[in-house]
Structure 1
C-alpha cells in the first residue's frame, strides 16, 4: 500500500492528538475541534500510508511574530508533520516558482511550484536516516500535492518538483 489522501477517523484523531497538533501551529485562530465545522466534511484530513503506519498532516502556514502589526502574520512557509516509526518530524517547507526550464504547459498545470526545505526537526531517527525520511516525505507530498483531500480540483491543476 502507498500514501493516499483521506479523512482521519475519530479514533486516529484522538490517538495522534491532531486537535492539539493543529492548535500548536494556529494559536491565534479558531481552535480545533471548532474549526472543523468550517469544512464540508467535519474531520481532519491527512495523507496516510496505513500499511507502514506513516502519515503527513498539514498544519498551516508558519507565522512570523516580528511583523509590523504586532500580531503573528502568515509567511509563505508551510508546516507539515510527517509521522514515521512512532515519531513526529516537523517540516517547514517553502514553495517557490518553478524555473522556466522546469515548467510544463500552463494550460494543463496552471499551478506550478517547487518545494524547498526550510527546516526539519529532528533531521533523522535512530532507525532511519535523513535521506530515508526525505524519500518518505517526497512520496507523501507527491500524493498530497498542494492541498490534499480538501481541494482535489487544485491538485489536478498542480505540477511541482522538489528542490531537496
Structure 2
C-alpha cells in the first residue's frame, strides 16, 4: 500500500511521541504547545502521511524559527522540519520551499530544496533510497496533508535534490 494522508490515532501519537516532535521544531510552539495546540485544528488529532504496509510515516513538524529576522524578533523561517520514520528510526529532514510559476492546472506550484538530513543513511538504506522515500511521501502530503485535500489537488511539487 502506498503513502496516504491520515489523522494519527491517539495510540500512535503517544507511541511515536508526536507532541514532543512538533514542540521541538514548530515556531508557534512558543505560544501554544502540543497537545493544547491541537484544539486550533478542525480535527483535534495529529496528521501524517503513512505507508502502513512498510511501517513508514512522514510527519511535518512545521516551520523553524528565524532568530535573526529583520524585525529583531524571532519569526518563522522558510525552513520546515519533517520527520521520516523508516525501519524504526526517525530521520530529520530540514527543507526549504520556493514558489514556482503557477498555471491553470496547478495554482500551487513549488519545489523543495534539501537543507539537511540526519542521519544521512541507515544500515540497510542509502541516502538516495531515503530521499526517494521522502519524495514519495511528499508527493502525497503535498500542501498540507489530510488537513487540506482541496489545496493538495491543486498542488504540484518538484524537488531540487
CA RMSD across the alignment: 1.4
Residue number in structure 2 paired with 1:36: 38
- Structure 1 residue runs of 5 or longer lacking an equivalent are none
Cα shift at 1:66: 2.2
Residue number in structure 1 paired with 2:158: 161
Give the Cα separation in 2 of the matches to 1:88 and 1:72: 27
Give the Cα separation in 2 of the matches to 1:155 and 1:53: 23
Q: Which residue of 138, 152, 155 corresponds with 1:141?
A: 138
* CA gap 1:86/1:71 in 2 versus in 1, 3 angstroms: farther
Residue number in structure 2 paired with 1:17: 17
Residue number in structure 2 paired with 1:118: 115
**CA offsets per residue over residues 41-78 of structure 1, 9 Å max, x none?**
11000000011110000011111122354542111111
Give the Cα separation in 1 of the matches to 2:160 and 2:68: 27
Give the Cα separation in 1 of the matches to 2:24 and 2:98: 25
Cα shift at 1:147: 0.8
Residue number in structure 1 paired with 2:2: 2
Residue number in structure 1 paired with 2:75: 73
Give the Cα separation in 2 of the matches to 1:37 and 1:130: 37
Normalised by the size of structure 1, how large is the TM-score? 0.92
**CA offsets per residue over residues 86-136 of structure 1, 9 Å max, x none?**
1111111111133xxxx6x71121111111101111111112110000010
- Structure 2 residue runs of 5 or longer lacking an equivalent are none
Normalised by the size of structure 2, how large is the TM-score? 0.93
SS of 1:155's equivalent?
A: helix
Q: Which residue of 85, 93, 100 corresponds with 1:83?
A: 85
How many residues end up aligned between the 2 structures?
159
Give the Cα separation in 1 of the matches to 2:32 and 2:57: 24
